[in-house]
Amino acid sequence: MLQQFSLEGKIALVTGGTYGIGMAMAKALGKAGATIIFNARSKDKVEEAEKEYRAEGFNAYGYQCDVTKESEVQALVADVASKHGDIDILVNNAGIIKRIPVLEMSVEEFEQVIDIDLVGPFIVSKAVAPGMIKKGAGKIINICSMMSELGRETVSAYAAAKGGLKMLTKNLACEWAEHNIQVNGIGPGYIATPQTAPLRTEGHPFNNFIISKTPAARWGNPEDLEGPVVFLASKASDFVNGHILYVDGGILAYIGKQPK
């Protein structure tokens, strides 16, 4: 049964896998046996992350690449194919968020979020699909969000992008299922990372808000995403397609506590 989850011999590309949940998921795929390919726009971030992966014993290769530039993505995919083989697993993780009220947000700021969070996954998925079709197998995992389902103040561009990514996931699953390519998503809840550390201090209003809205009564940890990403990347999920797996501690199932 455990062999169903093995990723030995697989090539996995995790976009934006230089820190946070992207790196955590990439390491999980590496622990399951995959060769890790990752990218970032910053050369320094790529080099720093590659050192960390190598120091922990992972077979990892970093590329400086902007996921919104189709020519750069195609060059990355071609180089990986020539050196390691066609990509078997793609995790579309790269993304940004801008917390700006709609009336204060410029069109350029809105478009930047859409380009990275939605157009980027379209570009990268399109680039890796021919290799997967040639192999007759492939796994694409799009990192969605609570905002794929819910609204909240100041995140209109992010919610629009992540809602669109949910539907892109379903449509790619429909188009490529005949080639034995499964396209699914993961929707992380609120995860404890260095980036969220300032919000997680005891007594902080946002920390109290998240704890009160989560039935598990805690923030998620990057490790909580390891099992889900390995499952969706492995043979164990070969008949799971077009699904968004929310790893949220129960937020989407919860209406909230009744006031006393």
Sheet holding 89-92, edge to edge: 60-64, 35-40, 11-15, 89-92, 138-143, 181-188, 244-247
Do residues 45 and 22 make contact, with C-beta atoms less than 8 angstroms apart? Answer: no
What is the Cα–Cα distance from 30 to 141, expressed in whole angstroms? Answer: 16
What is the Cα–Cα distance from 204 to 208, expressed in whole angstroms? Answer: 6
Q: Angle CA(205)–CA(211)–CA(212) in degrees, nearest 5?
A: 85
What is the Cα–Cα distance from 232 to 242, expressed in whole angstroms? Answer: 11
Please spell the DSSP secondary structure of 124-150, one letter per residue.
HHHHHHHHHHHHT-EEEEEE--GGGT-
| Catalytically annotated residues | 158
